[in-house]
Amino acid sequence: MNETERVAVVSKQKLAWCLLILRLGIATVFVMWTIDKFINPSHAAAVFERFYQLSGLTPEISYAIGAAQSALLLAFIVGLFRTYSYGAILILHVISTVSSYMKYMDPWTYPNLLFFAAVPMLSACIVLWVLRTHDTYTLDVWRATEKLN
């Protein structure tokens, strides 16, 4: 293997590690949002009403949403069905970020400044989706490799 090939292999490995770290970082936020639906359904109901204009979220509906979100999150964390799971996480975060637009209009009122953390996370979600085929430390890649062997 010549130097150029060696550098290319190392670069691919570094990119794969970076994308894994990015995926796990994004997942931490979604894990907390998912747990919240189970342990504090009244908070989830308040969030849905305030930011999504959806009232009447019962604990049972919160649990159902949490269960669906858990399945999606598991696929996302292990890198399964990357186009769809990464895309769904991106769409959910776009909705979450856009629905908070009023908080961005008044950043100096507490705690609105904290909502700006959604912007770099949105950027991370976009980057992960765009580079999903280079995210090789995934169950998708492992399954494809197993089929070849």
Q: Supply the range of the domain harboring residue 12.
A: 3-40+70-148
Coil, helix or strand for 34? helix
Buried b (16+ CB within 10 A) or exposed e, 106-134: eeeeeeeeebeebeebbebbeebbeebee
CA distance 124 to 138: 17
The pLDDT value given to residue 149: 67
Residue written as token pair 């990357």: 82
Asked whether residue 57 is domain-assigned, the answer is no
Asked whether residue 106 is domain-assigned, the answer is yes
Q: Give the count of domains, the chain.
A: 1
Asked whether residue 139 is domain-assigned, the answer is yes
* Cβ contacts of 74 within 8 Å, gap of 6 or more: 80
Asked whether residue 61 is domain-assigned, the answer is no
Asked whether residue 53 is domain-assigned, the answer is no
Q: Is the peptide bond before 59 cis (omega within 30 degrees of 0)?
A: no
Residue written as token pair 């060696």: 6
pLDDT in tens, the chain (149 residues): 788 887 777 799 999 999 999 999 999 999 999 999 999 999 999 999 999 999 999 999 999 999 999 999 999 999 999 999 999 999 999 999 999 999 999 999 999 999 999 999 999 999 999 999 999 999 999 888 877 76
Asked whether residue 31 is domain-assigned, the answer is yes
Asked whether residue 65 is domain-assigned, the answer is no
